[in-house]
Amino acid sequence: MKKVRSLCSILVLFLVITALAGCNSPAKKGSDVGTTQQSSNNSSSDSKKTVRIKFWNGFTASDGDILREIFDRFNEQNDKGIFVEMDIMPWANLLEKLAPALATGTAPALLLLGSEYIPEYAESGGIIPIEDFWDWSKLNRSNYEQNVQDTFMYKGIYYGIPMQYNTMYLYWNKDLFKEAGLDPEKPPKTFDELKEYAALLTNKNKQQYGFGIATGHSNITNFLWSNGGDWLNGEQTEAACNSPEMIEVLKMLRDFAVSGVTPVGMSGAELDNLLMAGQLGLYINGPWLINGCRQNNLNFGIGAVPAANDGHLQVPGGGCAFMVTSSASEEEKIAAYECIKYWLSKDVLKEWSIRNGFPAWSKEVLEDEEIKKDEIQSVLGPLSKYGRLPFAGMPEYNQIANEYLDPLFEQLMYGQITPEECARMMADGINSILRKK
Amino acid sequence: MFKAISAYFQKTETAAWVLLLPSLLCLTIFLFIPLIMSFCLAFFDVTIFLKNAEFILFDNFKELFFDGRFWNALGNTAYFTVMVVPIGVTFSLVVAMFVSENSLFKRSLRVIYYLPVICSMTAIGIMWAILLDPTIGMFAYWLRALGFKNVQLLKDPNLAMPLIAAMTIWKTFGQNMIILVAAIQSIPDEYYDASMIDGANSWKQFIYITLPALMPTLGFCTITSTIASFMVFDQTYVMTRGGPMFRTETLVQYVYTRGFIISPFRLGYASAAAFMLFVVIAAITMVMYHFFMKKEAKGL
C-alpha cells in the first residue's frame, strides 16, 4: 500500500512538473523559433530565416491561392531572412479573432483589412500609424493613385498601405441570358432594366434566381447613392436615410424578395456558390469572384452596377490595405514593411490585376500594354471613379451596421417591416449611436 | 531526508491533497479566477482592450433589463431548452429501454447511436447546415420532389430553431442513452420476477419498477441536459450565426457577440449578460434538483 502511495505521489509530481513545463514563455518575438508553418511547404529554406511574421487575411476564395503563391515566392526570394506565415480565414472569423488577439498582444504583425475598419482599430490603438513607410521604402509615392492611398487615412494619419482598390460590379450569367431570350452582351443599365431582366431570368422550377441580394446593408448602398439618397448628412452628424430615395430603393429590393426573384437570407458566400453553380442570373459583388468564375468555366460578363433611371451611378468603393498591428515588435514591423514593398512592385501588382481581375491602381501598371489590352481591366478600370467609401472615417460604423442596418434590412427582406418602417428605424438607430459620441 | 519526504507524502490527507493539486490548479487558473474576474468586469464599463475602465456599479445590469436583444436571446435559449430536454431525455429513455439487453445486435446499436456524441459539434453543425440548405441541401431537394413549395428550412425564421433542436437531440441523445442503459442494467432482476408472479404486464413493470428505479439517473440526465442546453452555442453559431432575424441567437452567442464581435467590444456588458446566464442556470438547476430529490424520496 505504501509503495502504491509513493508511486502515486511521484507520478503526480511528475505530472505537475510536466504541466508547468508546458507553460513556459512563448518564443521570443521575431526570433527564428517559429510555430506552425502555414504559408509554404518550402522547409528547406526555413533554417536560414531569422524573422518570422504572421500575416492574417480573409482571401478564402481562389484569390487566396494567388496571394499565397505570391508570398511563397517572397519567402523564397527575399534576402532579408523574412518568412511570412500566412493564415487565411473567412473575414468574419478574422474580425472575431482580431480583437481578443490585439487585447492580448498576440495579433499578427501584418494584416489585411478593409478600409471601413480603420477608424475603429486606429481609435483603439490596435493598428499603428504607417506614415513612415514611404520614406523607409524609398518608393515613388506619386506612382500610386493618391485617392486610393487616402482611403486608408483616419484623422489625417495613414494607417494602411493599399493592397487593392475596387468598387462593386454587376456579374451576369450569359448562358442564362440566352435561355431567357436576352442579349448576353447587353446587361441591365438602369433600375428598371434590372427589374425586367431579373424577372425574365427567374425560373422557380429550376431553382434559378434572377438576381441575388445577400444579407447586409451594402446591398442597399449599391443603389441608394445612385438614387440620390445617402445614409448620413454631409457633416456625418445625423442620419439622412429616412428619405423618399431610400424608401424607393427599399421597395425595389423588397419586391425582388416578394416575387421570388432573389432568395432571402442568403449570405454573400452562399450567393457566390449559387452564381458559380449557374443558378443566378445577376449578382452584384466585388472583383474577387472573377477568378472563381473563370475556374468554374462560367460563361459570365462583368460590368457596371445598374444606375438610377436618370443615369446617375455611385456605388460603394474601397479596398484592402496592409496594416501593422500594435502586437508587432520593431523588427517585425520592418519585416512587414518589406512584404508591403514587395507587393507594391510593378510585377506583383500587375500579376494580381491580370490573374485576379482587380483594377490596377498604380500609374506604372496602368500604363502597361498588357494591362491596357486586358479585357477585364479595360472594363473595370474606368468604373473606379464611381466608387465611394461608405461611412468614411467613422469608428461607429461596425456598431451601426451590426446593431441596426443589417438586422433591419433582414427584417425588411423577410417581410417583417415595411420599407417606410425600415428607413425610419434605420435612421433612429444611427442617430441613437451618433448622439452617444 | 528522502525518508522524511516519503513519510510526509504517505499520510492519507497529504496524498489526497497532492492528488487533488493538479485539478485544483487547473480549476483555479482556468475557471475560478476567470469567473471572479468576469463577475468583477460586469460592474465596469470596459472594452476588450481593457483601457479607460470606468466603475459603473449596476448600470450594465440596468441596461440589460431594457435590452430587447438580451431578452430575445434568453427567450430563444429557453425555447431551445424546452424542445431539447424533454424530447431528448424521453427519446434517450425509449432507446435505452430498447437496447439495454446485452445481445450483439443491441450492443452494436448502442455503439452506432453513441457515434454522433464523440463527433465535433462544429463538424456536425457544418454537415447539417449543408444538408438543410434551402438551395443546395439534400432535404430541400427531397421536400421539393415531394411537392413542397417555398422550402426555406434554416432560412425560415420559424423553422430554424426547431431544426437546430432536432439536430442537437440526434447528436446528443446517445450520451443519456448510455447512462440510462447502465442504470437499467443495474436494476435487480428479482423485482421483475416478483412482479411477474403478481401478474404485472410490461407496462406496469415499466411504470412501477423501471421508472422509479431510474428516477435519480433521469434527474441527473435532465439537469445536465438543461445546463448544456442553456449554454448552447456551437450549433447555432455554425449553422445560422443567430439568424434569421436573431431567431436562433442564444444567450451565450449574445455574450460572445457583445464582447468579441460588435464594436466597441463591450466586455463589461457582456460579462453582465454572462452573469445573468449563470444566475438563470443556477436557479433552474436548484429547482430541478429539489424536484427530483422529492420524487426520489417519494419513490417516484
**Domains by residue range for chain B, with CATH:** 1-41 (no CATH), 58-298 (1.10.3720.10)
DSSP structure class, residue A206: G
SS3 A28: coil
Rounded to 10 degrees, the C-alpha dihedral B257/B263/B265/B269 comes to: -70
Residues of B in contact with A99 (CB under 8 A): 48-49, 260, 265
Nearest chain A CA: its distance from B277 CA (Å): 21
Tell me the nearest-neighbour CA distance from A322 into chain B, angstroms. 21
| pLDDT at position A32 | 40
> Selecting from 3.40.190.10, 3.90.1300.10, 3.40.50.300, 3.10.20.30, what CATH number does the domain A48-165+318-388 have?
3.40.190.10
Pick the more confident residue, A204 or A405: A405
Pick the CATH number of A169-316+391-435 from 3.40.190.10, 3.40.50.300, 3.40.1280.10, 3.20.20.70: 3.40.190.10
High-pLDDT (> 90) share of chain A, %: 59
Task: Enumerate the residues of chain A whose CB falls inside 8 A of the CB of residue B262.
Answer: 398-399, 402-403
Say if CB A417 and CB A254 are below 8 A apart. no
Q: What is the reported pLDDT for B149?
A: 82
CA atoms within 13 A on the CB side of B89: 20
Q: Which parts of chain B register pLDDT below 70?
A: 1, 298-300
Query: CATH 3.40.190.10 spans which residues of chain A?
Result: 48-165+318-388, 169-316+391-435
What per-residue confidence (pLDDT) applies to A17? Answer: 54
Contact (CB, 8 A) for A314 and A386: yes
Across the interface, which of B241, B244, B260 has its CB nearest the CB of A100? Answer: B260
> What integer pLDDT is reported at residue A2 of this predicted model?
55
Is B147 touching A (CB cutoff 8 A)? Answer: no
Q: Is A428 on the interface with B (CB under 8 A)?
A: no
CB burial readout A173-208, b (16+ within 10 A) else e: bbebbebbebebeebbbbbeebbebbbbbbeeeebb
Instruction: Say if residue A88's pLDDT is above 50.
Output: yes
pLDDT given for residue A270 in this prediction: 87
CB < 8 Å from B in window 302-361 of A: none
CA distances from A74 to A43, A84, A107, A255, A346 (A): 14, 8, 22, 49, 14
**pLDDT range class, residue A5, cuts 50, 70, 90:** low
pLDDT at residue A6 in the model: 59
Q: Is the pLDDT of residue A309 over 60?
A: yes
Please list every residue in chain B whose beta carbon sits closer than 8 Å to the beta carbon of residue A1: none
Q: Is the pLDDT of residue A13 over 90?
A: no
B17 reaches A (C-beta below 8 A): no
A vs B: CB pairs below 8 A: 91
Q: According to the model, what pLDDT value does residue A377 have?
A: 86
Cα–Cα distance measured from residue B1 to residue A428, given in angstroms and rounded to the nearest whole number: 76
Is A414–B265 a contact, with Cβ atoms under 8 angstroms apart?
no
B199 touches chain A (CB under 8 A): no
Say if CB A241 and CB A231 are below 8 A apart.
yes
User: Is A90 an 8 Å CB contact of chain B?
Assistant: no
Range A88-92 average pLDDT: 89
Supply the pLDDT for residue B272.
96
In this prediction, what percent of chain A has a pLDDT beyond 70?
A: 89
What confidence tier does A9 reach under pLDDT thresholds 50, 70, 90? Answer: low
| B139 in contact with A, Cβ within 8 Å | no
The mean pLDDT of A257-261, rounded to a whole number, is 93
Strands (E), A259-364: 280-285, 300-303, 315-324
Interface TM-score (ipTM) > 0.90: no
Contact residues, chain A, for B264 at CB < 8 Å: 120, 124, 395, 399
A282 burial (CB, 10 Å; 0-12 / 13-18 / 19+) is buried
- A311, A171, A318, A169: which is closest to A227 by C-alpha? A311
Minimum mean pLDDT among A6-10, A134-138, A242-246, B217-221: which range?
Answer: A6-10
Question: Nearest CB to B263: which of A274, A279, A399?
Answer: A399
Tell me the pLDDT tens digit for each residue of A63-83: 888 999 999 999 999 888 999
A313 has pLDDT over 90: yes
Going by pLDDT thresholds of 50, 70 and 90, the confidence category of residue A192 is very high
pLDDT at A28 over 90: no
A186: left (phi over 0), alpha (psi -120 to 50) or beta: beta
What is the mean pLDDT of the segment spanning A318-341?
94
Taking the Cβ of residue B4 and every Cβ of chain A, the question of whether any pair is shorter than 8 Å is answered with no
Q: What is the pLDDT of residue A176?
A: 96
CA distance B273 to chain A (A): 17
Quick: pLDDT tens for A136-177. 999 999 999 888 888 898 999 999 999 998 899 999 999 999
pLDDT of residue A44: 44
CA–CA distances in Å: residue B285 to residues A182, B88, B221: 64, 17, 12
The answer to which of A99-113, A350-364, B4-18, B75-89 has the lowest mean pLDDT is B4-18
Q: Are A399 and B157 in contact (CB < 8 Å)?
A: no
pLDDT class for A41, splitting at 50, 70, 90? very low
Query: Which of A29-33, A233-237, A420-424 is predicted with the least confidence, judged by mean pLDDT?
Result: A29-33
pLDDT of residue A401: 92
Q: Residue A344, Cβ neighbours under 10 Å: how many?
A: 21
Nearest residue on chain A to B5, alpha-carbon basis: A6
Res. A209: pLDDT tops 80: yes
**Residue for grid cell 434590412:** A409
Contacts of B144 in chain A (CB under 8 A): 207
Whether residue A320 contacts residue A122, with contact meaning beta carbons closer than 8 Å, is answered with no
* Range with the poorest average pLDDT among A43-47, A374-378, B194-198: A43-47
Phi, psi of A160, rounded to the nearest 5 degrees: -145, 150
Give B-chain residues touching A411 at CB under 8 angstroms. Answer: 245
